[in-house]
Amino acid sequence: MPLSRRRFAASTLALAAAPLLARAQQAAPTATLPAAVAQALATARIPQSACAFVLQPIDSAVPQLDFNGAAPMNPASVLKLVTTYAALRILGPAYVWKTPVYATGPIRAGVLQGDLAFVGSGDPHLMADNLWSIALRLRDLGIRRIRGDVRVDRQAFDLPPHDPAAFDGDATAPYNVGPDAFLVNFGVMRLGFVPDAAAQQVRVTLEPPLAGFDLREAPKLTAAACGNWKDKLRADWRQPFAPRFAGGYAAACGPQTWNIAPEASDNAYVQRLLAALFAQVGIAWQGQVRTANLPADATELTVWDSPALAVLVRDINKYSNNVMAQQVFLTLALQAGAQRATWAGAQQAVTQWLTTHNLAMPGLVLDNGCGLSRTARIAAADLNALLRAAWNSPVMPEFVASLPLAGEDGTLRRHFRDPDTAGRIHAKTGTLDGVLSLAGYAQSRGGQRYTFAALVNDPRAGGAWPAVEAFVNGFMQTA
């Protein structure tokens, strides 16, 4: 080829390649934080190296921003995104947990001549009112008295003993309740405090009903400012079902509720609850609740079905329910074929499913699947990849709808309430001492949809909200 023709061909190829090169350069993700985010981090004295931010338009093949996205970090409750998405795909949105109820003896003249037996399946949402419905069913079957005990078969889970104080020392906090194959009412009692000015006293209410509950000392009604009313009660929980409140309760507080996980055995809580419910529906019972395997000759009386998984993931993600997430996580081990669910089995089931579906995450540490952990780890880029996979999956409607809606509900109801952002962000929050995280979906003012993830691991992480808000607000203003 003559030199002139070679030069012409080369220049033509260069011109043709120029737009491709320009698009490639344009597609490369930015690795520098926006100025507003950097400034907010500096103000909070949080080093940029302690953070990860990833942003990607839904219709783009590459992120728009990837700052430290490959670094595995503690996500706190944002880890629930992994558990709930995997569960929706593995179990299916219509999956329900079944809790069968058996008799170990015949029913004669209204008397169950043996034990009543529950077989736990790990139901994440077996509540007191569900047990009341079961009690009604038993009465309708003709049972007016149970001569024996109540057996609880907990074989579905094989877990080490749970210490509710191990994580942060607060053994009565509902978020520290551990999983149980027969978890009832999250193991929590709700005390209501209602000031009665006319009687000059504080009325204390209890939900659910627990037989033998004895309020040893009620708080005194005061005229002080409300302030930190729980501390002012001077609560004594040493006898969890006979508490004392040696302090005062201000009339200015109005009605308040306090959810408490009593430091008692699972069987002690269930026994008091069942005794109260059986009495309400007219079934006499004076036995004990004990953990025991189901006898082979037991007769099935009824089966309780949980709400569908698609319903339950809303409670898990919108309100960041730790023990529900753990129950679902362990169920994935059973679904994978384990005879009894273990933490290792659940971890293997999820990581294997992720790998099979092109979501391998080398730095992922699932621990208990809920994010209440100091060892859990995931990279912001992997969170972003999971969000994108979920968006293009058959369970997208159920998954996205389970996330808190900015300025509207769940853990985001007090954030992003500006008209430009409220109702436009579905995202999961995560907070621990030293951890702040947010990941989900957003639609900008101009209609562009994004996936995003922001992780902050630093002793001052609690001050990182302005930086996270600056990050989100920055792309939300896109026309």
CATH assignment at residue 142: 3.50.80.20
Q: Take residue 123 and report the two structure tokens written for it.
A: 């139901």
Asked if residue 225 belongs to a domain, the reply is yes
Give every CB contact of residue 172 below 8 A, 6+ residues apart in sequence.
164, 237, 240, 260, 261, 262, 263
- Asked which of 250, 273, 305 is the last residue of a domain, the reply is 305
| Same-domain status, 429 and 467 | yes
Supply the DSSP symbol for 29: P
| Same-domain status, 347 and 467 | yes
- Asked which of 231, 260, 289 is the last residue of a domain, the reply is 260
**C-alpha–C-alpha distance, residues 271 and 169, integer Å:** 26
| Same-domain status, 374 and 326 | yes
- Asked which of 252, 285, 305 is the last residue of a domain, the reply is 305
| Same-domain status, 319 and 289 | no
Q: What is the CATH number of the domain that holds 385?
A: 3.40.710.10
Asked if residue 20 belongs to a domain, the reply is no
Strands (E), 345-421: 378-379
Q: Take residue 66 and report the two structure tokens written for it.
A: 């990837």
pLDDT in tens, the chain (479 residues): 544 444 434 444 443 444 443 343 456 888 899 999 999 999 999 999 999 999 999 999 999 999 999 999 999 999 999 999 999 999 999 999 999 999 999 999 999 999 999 999 999 999 999 999 999 999 999 999 999 999 999 999 999 999 999 999 999 999 999 999 999 999 999 999 999 999 999 999 999 999 999 999 999 999 999 999 999 999 999 999 999 999 999 999 999 999 999 998 889 999 999 999 999 999 999 999 999 999 999 999 999 999 999 999 999 999 999 999 999 999 999 999 999 999 999 999 999 999 999 999 999 999 999 999 999 999 999 999 999 999 999 999 999 999 999 999 999 999 999 988 999 999 999 999 999 999 999 999 999 999 999 999 999 999 999 999 999 999 998 75
Show the domain range for 395: 28-94+309-476
| Same-domain status, 317 and 413 | yes
Supply the DSSP symbol for 364: -
Asked if residue 112 belongs to a domain, the reply is yes
3-state secondary structure of 441: strand
pTM, full prediction: 0.93
pLDDT (0 to 100) of residue 477: 87
pLDDT (0 to 100) of residue 296: 96
pLDDT (0 to 100) of residue 27: 63
| Same-domain status, 354 and 233 | no
| Same-domain status, 294 and 442 | no
Q: Take residue 253 and report the two structure tokens written for it.
A: 């507080």
Cis geometry, peptide bond prior to residue 195 (ω within 30 degrees of 0): no
| Same-domain status, 278 and 371 | no
pLDDT (0 to 100) of residue 14: 41
Q: For Cα atoms 239, 247, 226, give the angle at the middle one, nearest 5 degrees.
A: 125
Asked if residue 14 belongs to a domain, the reply is no
Asked if residue 2 belongs to a domain, the reply is no
**C-alpha–C-alpha distance, residues 287 and 396, integer Å:** 48
Asked if residue 9 belongs to a domain, the reply is no
| Same-domain status, 106 and 81 | no
| Same-domain status, 435 and 298 | no
Number of domains forming the structure of the chain = 3
Q: Take residue 86 and report the two structure tokens written for it.
A: 């995997």
Whether residue 428 contacts residue 77, with contact meaning beta carbons closer than 8 Å, is answered with: yes
Asked if residue 451 belongs to a domain, the reply is yes
Helix-helix angle 309-318:80-90, to 10 degrees: 180
| Of the candidates 270, 243, 248, 249, the residue with the CA atom closest to the CA atom of residue 188 | 270
pLDDT (0 to 100) of residue 265: 86
Whether residue 66 contacts residue 451, with contact meaning beta carbons closer than 8 Å, is answered with: no
**C-alpha–C-alpha distance, residues 424 and 417, integer Å:** 10
Which amino acid, 252? A
Give every CB contact of residue 351 below 8 A, 6+ residues apart in sequence.
361, 364, 366
Distance between start and end Cα atoms, the chain: 51
Asked if residue 315 belongs to a domain, the reply is yes
| Same-domain status, 247 and 370 | no
pLDDT (0 to 100) of residue 479: 59
| Same-domain status, 314 and 436 | yes
pLDDT (0 to 100) of residue 4: 47
Q: For Cα atoms 101, 113, 306, give the angle at the middle one, nearest 5 degrees.
A: 10
Helix-helix angle 266-281:128-140, to 10 degrees: 50
